[in-house]
Every structure is written in structure tokens, then in C-alpha cells.
Amino acid sequence: MTLRRFALLLCLLLPVAFAGCARQTPAEHAANVYAQNEMDATPVHGNVPDYSLSPADLAKAQHLSTIRVTMHFVEEAWGIVSLILLLAFGVIAWMRDTAVKVSTNRWVQGYVFLFLYLLIGTLVSLPLDLYNQHVQLEYGLSVQPWGSWFGDQAKTFALIWIIGGLLLMLLSWSIRKAPRKWWLLSWGFSIPLVLIGIFITPYVIDPLFNKFEPLQKTNPELVAQLEKVVEKGHMNIPPERMYLMKASEKVTTLNAYVTGFGSSKRVVVWDTSIQKGTPDEVLFIFGHESGHYVLHHIVYGIGFTILLLLVTLYLGYLFVQWAIAKFGTKWGVPAQTDWAALAVLLLAFSLFSLITEPLQNTLSRMDEHAADVYGQEAIHGLIADPQKSAHDAFVLLGTGSFADPNPSQLYEFWTFSHPSIGRRAAFAKVYDPWAPGVEPKYFKKQ
């Protein structure tokens, strides 16, 4: 089998392989069937039995859902179309010519070219970014002043330029050293870089955008409760790896997440979750996030990312060869060693990302559902009613972000990294693996 066929076959078989690993317990299956029936029995538009909004909030949620659907696909399409236009009208070639005129040093050329590319790309996408932030402010989901927002954009630009420049130089060296195998050489270099990036993110990247402090400092009583979940799951998450993020300085929505790798791995709870949720609801949210930790979702995610990167780089190599042969003269991109070829490769990545988006989101939803199951089981016996607490936590998350109770199933399949709030709330309401005749999935009955 050729490598090209292997790459295409891998993209087709990965969803099947992962789906086969997601075996359900009888209790989980029954709860999923209930959740699906609840959704199927609901009109195409409107509330669902286990997650409903007031008429005014429902109208907001539906309108916001329409905006999100439209903007999601407009941004993806515009990202591809604008890149093609920049190539077709010679703007990318002009960036290359400018970089080459500035200096004969390849490092200077690479960073100048990338700066121009990022600058033009930022200006091209700025109207959509501004509109998205306007919508967030209009709906009260963001409270971030415009000055702070522009500051975050500048930080993001600088990080991409500095780190991206190093990656560009590595890619350029690989292409010159191995014209036919640079995709494989680049992939080999990318593995340690991915691991290093994930490891340092909590230490270096995240603090640039948000303030963090030990959860023990401001919520010792909550930490004591969280430690019970940690002990029950036999997890190695000491209190010093529990952090509070001051999200309320920028947003009103709720969240918690797991980040880092190895000794940098940690659980982060937003202060908005603690402000708006009850202790039992926060305990479930923590249980969900600790599920990602215990079920090795980060490790599996890294492995999948590295595997997908191999396929993407190889297909990107094939695309660059084809595109330069067919359009190189018109675009002013004579060879893959040219700085302007970066834009052609990024065009390939954009197209492949659009195609693989539903695959990646499907796998993400599977992980999120598994974490829901784990979180609900983890708090069993620690609080009075884990089903109600989990259900209420989802309702709180949904109402706080104006989540559509019944989104389009196609849009959910293609773009949702989590199952819809309606499905999660319906599942949580009836999932009871401690009922007679059934068994929990991740814990033994006491």
C-alpha cells in the first residue's frame, strides 16, 4: 500500500476505530436513548423538556445561534477565499519580494515575510473579529473593554510571529535539505515541539491573557470538597494543581478545563463558575474536568494530533507540488523553497481543516460525554443528588451563554466540540448506574 493510500485510508478509518472504543454500559445506553428521545420529541425550534429558556432568552438564544452558524462558516470560507485572492493578485509575491529586498539573511527574510503575512491577514479578518466581539458585548457574554481586547489581539499577533517564525525557519530548512521528504522531516521535528508547547502553555502563554491564583487561597472549603473527588478517583491532582482563573474580568460565561502535560497538567476553574454555581454544581464541573485527567484524554489527544499532523503534512506536500505546477506562474510562486510557498501550504491546511473538522469534533464530543459520565459517577455519595446537580450545572452553563436548546443536528455534528446542552442535561437527569441491576462505568459499587 502506498503512503498516499495509507493516509487517505487512515482518515476514513479513524472515526470507526475510536467509535469502537466507546463502549457504553447499559445505564449509559439507556440514558442516551432517553436524551435522544427527548430531542426527537421536541419541535425543530424551541425548548427541550430538560433545558428550557424564557421566551425572551429563547429568542436571544435562537438569534445568537443563527449568528454563530453564519459567522462560523463565513470565517472559514473567507479565510480560504482571501488567501486565494492574495495569491492571485500577487500580494503574497509582493511580501516575498519585500522580504528579500530588506536583507540577504534568511532569518531576517523569514521574519519580515511572516510579519507582512500576519499583518495583511489580520487586517483582512479584522471586520469579522470586531463583529464577533461586538456580538459578545451586545449579549452580555463579554465585559472586556475594547482596549483590553485589542491588547489581547496584539499579544496573539506577537506570539504567532515569534513562535511561528521559528517554525517557518525550521520548515524552510527541511524543504531545502529534503525536497521530497520535508513533510516527514518536519513531522519528526514537530513531535517534541507539540509536547513542549503543551507543557509550557500553563506557565508561559495562559498568564499573558488571564490572571490565575491557587484555588486554595480563596476557596479552601471548596478545595476540601474537591480533594474528596480526587481521593475517590485515585488521582494525582494535589491542591497546588488546582487554580482559579479570574475570567470575570473579561466574560460572564462559566467554564473549567484541564491544561498542561506531565508535571504542568492542572485543573482550572473560572471564578464565574464559583460565583454563579452552587458548591454541588461546581463539584460536578470539577468531576467532569478531572475525568479528562483520569481518562487520559490529553495524552490521547496529543497522540491523535501528532498522527493527524503526519497525514496533513503529507497531503500538504502533495497539494503544494500540484498547486505550484498549475498556478505557480500566475501566483508568482516559482518553487516550494520560495517564501511565498508558505501561503500555498497554509491554503492546503485550511482546506484540510475544513474537511477534518467534523471528525475532530466527533472525537471531542465522545471525550466530553465520557467526562460527563465520569463526573457524575465521581460525585456520587459525596453530594445528596448527583443527577440533579449535574443537570442543574448544564442548565446553568446553557442559560449563562444563551445556548440554543435545540440546535441544528447538522451544525452540531459539524462544529460542536461538546454535545448540545439539551442532550447533556437530559442525559444527566436520568443517568443512574447505581440503580438495581446496572453498574457504573468507571467506579465500583460500594
Q: What is the pLDDT of residues 320-337, one digit of tens each?
A: 999 999 999 999 999 999
Pairing of the two strands 266-270 and 256-259: antiparallel
The number of distinct structural domains making up the chain is: 1
- CA separation for the pair 379, 388 (Å, rounded): 11
Nearest to 342 by CA among 185, 112, 184: 112
pLDDT of residue 6: 43
- pLDDT at res. 36: 63
**Per-residue confidence (pLDDT) for residue 248, from 0 to 100:** 95
Which distant-in-sequence residues (6+ apart) come within 8 Å of 257 by Cβ? Answer: 267, 268, 289
The 8 Å CB, 24+ separation contacts for 267-272 are 267/237, 267/241, 267/242, 267/243, 267/293, 268/212, 268/243, 268/244, 269/215, 269/242, 269/243, 269/244, 269/245, 270/244, 270/245, 271/244, 271/245, 271/246, 271/247, 272/247, 272/248, 272/400
Instruction: Supply 280's cell numbers.
Output: 454541588
Residue 98: inside a domain: yes
pLDDT at 353: 92
Cell numbers describing residue 293: 485527567
Whether residue 119 lies inside any domain: the answer is yes
Q: What pLDDT, on a 0 to 100 scale, did the predictor assign at position 72?
A: 92
Q: Domain limits at 244?
A: 57-430
User: How far is 160 from 99, CA to CA, in rounded Å?
Assistant: 18
Asked if residue 80 belongs to a domain, the reply is yes
Strand partners of residue 380: 383
Q: How confident is the model at residue 419, as a pLDDT?
A: 94
pLDDT tens track of the chain, all 446 residues? 454 544 444 444 444 444 444 566 766 765 665 566 566 555 556 788 889 999 999 999 999 999 999 999 999 999 999 999 999 999 999 999 999 999 999 999 999 999 999 999 999 999 999 999 999 999 999 999 999 999 999 999 999 999 999 999 999 999 999 999 999 999 999 999 988 998 999 999 999 999 999 999 988 988 888 888 888 888 777 888 889 999 999 999 988 888 887 788 888 999 999 999 999 999 999 899 889 888 988 888 888 889 999 999 999 999 999 999 999 999 999 999 999 999 999 999 999 999 999 999 999 999 999 999 999 999 998 998 999 999 999 999 999 999 999 898 888 999 999 999 999 999 999 999 888 888 888 988 76
What backbone phi and psi angles, to 5 degrees, belong to 129? -65, -40
pLDDT at 38: 63
Specify the pLDDT at position 236.
75
Residue 25 domain-assigned (yes or no): no
The pLDDT value given to residue 436: 85
Contact in structure between 406 and 42 (CB atoms under 8 Å)? yes
Sign of CA pseudo-dihedral 330, 332, 338, 342: negative
Q: What is the pTM of this model?
A: 0.86
Note whether residue 42 is domain-resident. no
Are the C-beta atoms of 31 and 427 separated by less than 8 Å? yes
DSSP 261-284: SGGG-EEEEEHHHHHHS-HHHHHH
Q: What is residue 327's predicted lDDT score, i.e. its pLDDT?
A: 96
State residue 45's pLDDT score.
60
Q: Return the amino acid letter for 81.
A: V
Report the pLDDT value the prediction gives residue 378, as an integer from 0 to 100: 92
In a domain, 330, yes or no: yes
Pairing of strands 266-270, 242-245: parallel
Q: Would you say residue 298 lies in a domain?
A: yes
172 occurs within a structural domain:
yes
